Structure 1
Amino acid sequence: MTREPLGVAVIGYSFMGKAHSNAWRNVRAFYPGVPAVRQQVLVGRDEAAVKEAASHYGWAESATDWRSVIERDDVDVVDVCTPGDSHAEITLAALAAGKHVLVEKPLSNTVAESEAMLAAAREAEARGVRAMIGFNYRRVPALALTRQLIADGRIGAVRQVRAAYLQDWLADADAPMTWRLRKEQAGSGVLGDLGSHVVDQLHYLLGDPVVAASGHLRTFVPERTGPQGREPVTVDDAAWATLETGSGVVASVEVSRMATGRKNGLTLEVYGDRGSVAFDLERLNELMVLDRPDDVAAGARRVLVTETDHPWLSAWWPPGHVLGWDHTFTSQAADFLTAIAEGTSPQPSFADGLAVQRVLAAIEQSAGDDGRRVAVREGA
């Protein structure tokens, strides 16, 4: 039986901590059938800052020591929203303590860490403890509908995919140093940050794992100013890759945090032998669909993905009332709580996170060897 309400601790209070806090605060309002939750504690290193954030986001209390928090009896769920270098340590400790764990993407900074996390999650699952990785874009209704259209054969056999995730928050060479630009904390740059989303979407939409990669990485601004003065940027600013799936689909991928004028531009174009589907995150309630190949004058049509029978929409608003980026986190929290209550395996799993990490590692290996083709390591 699931104890209710479930006490939740979120580790990390900045960008992702805020998004996840919003989800935990609202999940029962839109998904009343899931277990009740208690926003127990928000954790961060800066005592004053995390205390203020906890007050704003609706948490009962704040703390600075995550190790003591995961041992508490009033904490049932640990939600990890920290930089990637601490994902493995926190997750392994939380699972060992019997806590259900949700981890923001990417799963960790290395394949080896991700493998250890998956092994721990499988052992914990045998004890009734659940673990999930937070690829929130799986809960965008338009992308879930894209997956359904592909699976139903509406665009025929998929041949190729064009994918790009472009932002510009680092385009200014004078933008300050941040932890995301230090390899020891972030693991990689835009490749792990945005590329992980793209690779997971390829796996999710196609149901077809990437088996080979060739890639290139570029750091356009090699130094930035941090608290102690100028320091080197040790990760990539932009990345390009050609990916191949097991069934022969070819995907071209571009990710960048230096694409001047693009704020959060995730675009996906899937081309089959009978049609196509195109998506743009900056218009996340819409799809452009071509699935009438016999009508040469038809062209692609705009589909507004807000109908109650579209994926994820039944919990929200009447048709035509669009959703936003933040809704994906609420649906994600609802899925995790449902899995906990029903004793099922939540998706996406740590195995999915490891699969993404292996593709990213292959891209990075290829980039270090003049873009040669690298096979993606197999096995879960």
Structure 2
Amino acid sequence: PVDAQILKEIRNRERPYRFQVDTLEEGYTRLVLTTDLSHYRRVFYFRENKLISPGHYFARRWHQETTRYFRFLISDPRDFNAFAAEALDQFVDSLLILLEVSPEARERLAREKIIYLLCHTTGEMENITGMAARGIYLVAWDQVVSTFNCHRHEVAHLLMNYKLEHLSLYTHPFFLEGFACAVGGRGGKSAAVIRQIGAFLQQSGFLTYERLLDINRFQEVDPTLSYPLSAIYNWFLLHHLGVESYLRLYRSHGGDTPSLNNIPRNGSRLPPPEAFEAFLQKHEAFSTVAFPSLWPDFPPLMEAHWGSVWEDERWYYFRLRGSVRMIPSRPVGKAFRSREFHEIFPDVPYSGERYYLQVSPEEVKLYDFYTMALIAFYSNGLSPTRQAIREEDGYFRFALPRKLFAEPLPQMSIAQ
């Protein structure tokens, strides 16, 4: 849309402007608005004299896939795989339950589908959204546009709007981005990893949530810090208040102008700070990687040249010589190409690896190449207490939740 101030100046004849109309192929038309007083430019697309979304034009020949909740338009089919699509469907199911969306509304969403444009390049993103971003939810068109094949964060924005139905034009970013990060992660990091970073920021005192309640100060803080901290606090609110009260609070901090009120620190709107601190202490195991003091005293589940793995009802316990790659029993098709894999292993052919467990004396990372996300993470630089990841015998010892893996480890092929 055209910015309100510029539109007002044009209507009052205070700003010179120019229209350019281009006739495109297949009955499409492009209208370009420019102004003489700045580099301001807006582009609109039409078909048969009706306004359409830019995505409608640019993705008109893209490959299509349909799932329970999504209609995917895919620029390069090598970026797409059925496992990522299934993960998104499962995410939608879980979030609809969390938000207490009615069965009728769930079925309507399944019928009408979420439009998901999977771009291959940031250039395509810029053509469709006007921004060279990795992903965005276009509210005006109800479309998710992303270079990530499983962008839960942007889908979370859409589903929150679907639940609220009657929307404000603006929502305080502490809630807007905090909710989406709390349930959907951000920028190739899972929600659990983002919340873990947020918990560290609060507990270390490096950045506290009170600073982010002022909208101007929120915007001054780098999103790599403000978003995770907002995420863990919104996660706390969801658990402390319950969904119904949380949604009332979320809605109360929206408005029809960008000038939103700051969130009051005290009073009845937010829980007391002590409640948040107690939540963090009670749930101190926000880390997606654990370092148990007691190790299993029974034979390992798996043992090979790369190390050993034990399991109990909740955890896999790893004793590794170094980093390992894991290929599922039912790997992704040969057409899929993992960009993240080739960034890490530029000279290694991709053979359908789903997980990469990267270990070093300072960090443990678990990547899911199929969904393009870091799903477990520990760093001594982002922990209040340093852990001895590598023992004196040279092995790396730690534990990961079993639920992180889509299938039991013994069914996968593991190699260094």
Q: Does TM, scored on the shorter chain, surpass 0.5?
A: no
TM-score range, shorter chain: under 0.3
TM-score (norm 1): 0.26
Q: Which structure has the higher relative contact order (CA within 8 Å, separation 6+)?
A: 1
Q: Which has the larger radius of gyration?
A: 2
| TM-score of the pair, normalised by structure 2 | 0.25
